[in-house]
């Protein structure tokens, strides 16, 4: 949700783009999304909470995996991290616990591997495969899921990238790093953020300082300077000049930006949906959640008009035809609606 995950520098910028990239590290206090985020619901299974326990429903609102877990993460590559007794393990889409709660941190599977951290506070991060075998030995302060064959890892406080065999292919030399997207990754060096290619070569190093940078999406990447947020193309040209207070990734040809209030621009920088919202989420499946004052609803990508005649305390983008909504607060009731605004799962907690 864009207003909750605003574009920030450093490690928080990874959280800001987690919904777009489906990143999650269960159990990690400052990286994981937690709370059963369903930004990447995998095989059409969605987290629900009943009487304080988490399980999963399908798109029709039928319980597929009985609520029994302290916390859950989205399905990815056929597995979901679940919390049992304070630690994390993995289940498959039938609900079979195929890896016991052996980890303090359990990341989402991506490209057949998941970053994990043992239960000891001194444990380092390594990677397991989708049958639970440790394939990259624990050696990292922090580790993120693989994307485009490479994963960001932190060694002695510096970030680099490893391949699926565990080879360090980009030396640990950056103060921060994000996942690869569209062939490039944002990394933070001494003089600000730049973009590197998969060999570690510098692909974008503009003449001006970038204070914060985000992954590429639909050929553009949001970046921030002292003048505000704008967008770079893959050549490093600022095709939309820095001017916004906040800027999100492009999806469905639109990006939410804030200039006083939130509106949407196209890839040329034209305002296509007037700045009028107190909060705005990404378009997905032709709809986007937007906030008027304190209530959320949904608008259409073509007209920008409200298309669901209901409001919610919080709302997430649509995934596989349904969207997660809640009544807000520290312990919200969570439900799911279809594209007509009808509940497929009435809010529970």
Taking the C-alpha atoms of residue 271 and residue 282, their distance in angstroms, rounded to an integer, is 15
Mean pLDDT within 321-339? 94
Query: What's residue 42's pLDDT?
Result: 55
CA dihedral 328, 73, 39, 212 (to 10 degrees): 90
Mean of per-residue pLDDT scores for the chain: 90
Considering only CA atoms, which of 15, 214, 27, 14 is closest in space to residue 115? Answer: 27
Q: Is the pTM of this model over 0.85?
A: yes
Residue 328 has what pLDDT? 81
Give pLDDT, residue 329. Answer: 81
Rounded Cα gap, residues 264 and 272, in angstroms: 6
Band the pLDDT of 25: cuts 50, 70, 90. Answer: low
Average the pLDDT over 151-161 and give the result: 98
Please report, rounded to a whole number, the percentage of residues in the chain having pLDDT higher than 90: 86
User: How much is the CA Rg of the chain, to the nearest whole Å?
Assistant: 20
- Tracing tokens 């930006």 back to the chain, one arrives at 257
Confidence of residue 2 (pLDDT cuts 50, 70, 90): very low
Mean pLDDT score, 237-245: 98
Instruction: Count the neighbouring beta carbons within 10 Å of the beta carbon of residue 66.
Output: 11
Cα torsion angle, 218, 219, 224, 230, sign? negative
Alpha-carbon distance of 263 to 271, in angstroms, equals: 7
Residue 60: how many other CB atoms lie within 10 Å: 12
Model pLDDT for residues 246-286, shown as the tens digit of each residue: 999 999 999 999 999 999 999 999 999 999 999 999 999 99
Neighbours of 226 (CB within 10 A): 8
What percent of the chain is predicted at pLDDT more than 70? 88
pLDDT at 71 exceeding the cut of 50: yes
Q: Is 270-349 CATH 2.60.40.1120? A: no
In tens, the pLDDT along 84-112 reads: 999 999 999 999 999 999 999 999 999 99
Token representation of residue 149: 């064959």
CB-count exposure of residue 106 (10 Å: 0-12, 13-18, 19+): buried
pLDDT of residue 13: 38
Residue 330 is predicted with a pLDDT of 85
Of the pLDDT bands very low, low, confident and very high (cuts 50, 70, 90), residue 18 is: very low
């Amino acid at each position: 949700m864009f207003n909750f995950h605003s574009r920030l520098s450093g490690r928080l910028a990874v959280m800001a783009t987690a919904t777009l990239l489906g990143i999650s590290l269960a159990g990690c206090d400052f990286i994981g999304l937690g709370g059963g985020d369903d930004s990447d619901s995998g095989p059409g299974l969605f987290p629900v909470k009943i009487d304080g326990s988490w399980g999963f429903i399908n798109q029709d609102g039928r319980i597929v995996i009985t609520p029994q877990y302290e916390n859950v993460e989205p399905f990815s590559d056929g597995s979901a991290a679940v919390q049992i007794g304070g630690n994390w393990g993995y289940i498959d889409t039938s609900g079979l616990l195929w890896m016991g709660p052996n980890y303090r941190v359990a990341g989402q599977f991506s490209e057949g591997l998941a970053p994990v951290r043992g239960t000891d506070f001194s444990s380092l991060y390594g990677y397991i495969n989708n049958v639970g075998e440790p394939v990259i030995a624990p050696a990292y302060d922090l580790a993120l899921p693989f994307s485009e064959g490479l994963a960001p890892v932190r060694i002695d406080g510096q970030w680099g990238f490893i391949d699926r065999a565990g080879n360090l292919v980009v030396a640990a030399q950056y103060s921060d790093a994000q996942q690869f997207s569209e062939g490039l990754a944002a990394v933070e060096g001494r003089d600000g953020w730049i973009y590197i290619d998969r060999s570690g070569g510098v692909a974008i190093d503009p003449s001006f300082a970038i204070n914060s940078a985000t992954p590429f999406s639909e050929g553009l990447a949001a970046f921030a300077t002292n003048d505000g947020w704008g967008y770079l193309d893959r050549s490093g040209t600022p095709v939309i000049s820095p001017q916004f207070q906040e800027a999100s990734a492009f999806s469905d040809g639109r990006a939410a930006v804030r200039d006083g209030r939130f509106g949407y621009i196209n890839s040329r920088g034209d305002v296509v949906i007037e700045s009028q919202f107190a909060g705005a989420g990404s378009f997905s499946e032709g709809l986007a959640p937007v906030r008027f004052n304190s209530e959320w609803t949904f608008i259409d990508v073509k007209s920008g008009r409200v298309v669901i005649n209901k409001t919610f305390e919080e709302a997430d983008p649509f995934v596989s035809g349904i969207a997660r909504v809640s009544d807000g607060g520290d312990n919200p009731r969570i439900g799911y609606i279809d594209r007509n605004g009808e509940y497929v799962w009435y809010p529970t907690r």
